[in-house]
Amino acid sequence: MARIQRAAFCALFLLLVLLFGGRGEAFAASVTANVPDPSLARQMLETSTDRILSLLKNPNYVNPATRAPLRRQIEDEVYHIFDFREFSARTLGQHWRSFTEAERADFTQAFACLLFSTYLNHIDGYNGESVRFVSERVSSTHRRVEIATEITMSDGKILPISYRMMFKEEAAGAVWVVYDVFVEGISLVNNYRTQFQEILMKSSPAQLIESVRARASEAGF
């Protein structure tokens, strides 16, 4: 389970930075075509993988003494492309409707910190994992796509990772964003949803938010 969890957050981290790396190209293509183009999601991943793997192998990242500035830069970049509000809404499920707008904002911020603290700690353990793109499934509306990949672990074992992405049109432009990651068929959204639902059965939204903040703090964020 620890191996799977580490690989899952390694893969999630790679995806977030990959998306940011290809953001400019995807934005321009989406605006020019004025219609969702699912192929751009996979294109971003494929064209950026080598660059991101090189980043992880960079001596400045490997060396703990010089890692912090790079991690802060990565955090800033990821915030621009990962839809934490969408991830939060899907994670809370029906409970999202009972949260006030202020509570939604607070939860989204706390949950983002938890994700950052968790996968940034895991990504520090990157050990030469490689990525292979297997297939993609596109929804009938062409506004959602699931990209299947395989992560080859340093010990040679294969770990299937699928990314679910959606096309969003916002004031700043149109982009493809990730809203869920499946590791060996297990959804990260559903995994957190189960945990948070158990808390909400006995606690208020405010108490859940404080719990998530505490977990993020314990993880070092």
Q: Domains in the chain and their CATH numbers?
A: 2-218 (3.10.450.710)
- Map the chain to HEC letters: CHHHHHHHHHHHHHHHHHHHHCHHHHHHHHHHHCCCCCHHHHHHHHHHHHHHHHHHHCHHHHCHHHHHHHHHHHHHHHHCCCCHHHHHHHHHHHHHHHCCHHHHHHHHHHHHHHHHHHHHHHHCCCCCCEEEEEEEEECCCCCEEEEEEEEECCCCCEEEEEEEEEEEEECCEEEEEEEEEEECCEEHHHHHHHHHHHHHCCCCHHHHHHHHHHHHHHCCC
Query: How many Å separate Cα 38 from the centre of its chain?
Result: 18
- Name the band, by pLDDT with cuts 50, 70 and 90, for residue 2: very low
Q: What is the largest CA-CA distance in the chain?
A: 50
Select the more confidently predicted residue: 162 or 125. Answer: 162
Please say if the pLDDT value at position 162 is more than 70. yes
pLDDT tens digits for range 168-197: 887 667 777 888 888 889 998 999 999 999
pLDDT tens digits for range 46-103: 655 566 666 677 788 878 898 887 777 766 666 666 788 999 999 999 999 999 999 9
Using alpha carbons only, how large is the chain's radius of gyration in Å?
A: 17
- Name the band, by pLDDT with cuts 50, 70 and 90, for residue 154: confident
pLDDT at 176: 79
pLDDT tens digits for range 4-55: 445 555 555 555 544 433 444 444 444 444 568 888 877 766 655 566 666 6
- Name the band, by pLDDT with cuts 50, 70 and 90, for residue 137: very high
Phi, psi of 45, rounded to the nearest 5 degrees: -65, -45
pLDDT at 23: 42
Query: How high does pLDDT run on average in the chain?
Result: 78
- Name the band, by pLDDT with cuts 50, 70 and 90, for residue 123: low
pLDDT at 195: 94
Residues 6+ apart with CB under 8 A from 136: 38, 41, 42, 145, 146, 147, 148
Q: How far apart (Å, rounded) are the C-alpha atoms in residues 99 and 107?
A: 9
Beta bridge partners of 77: none
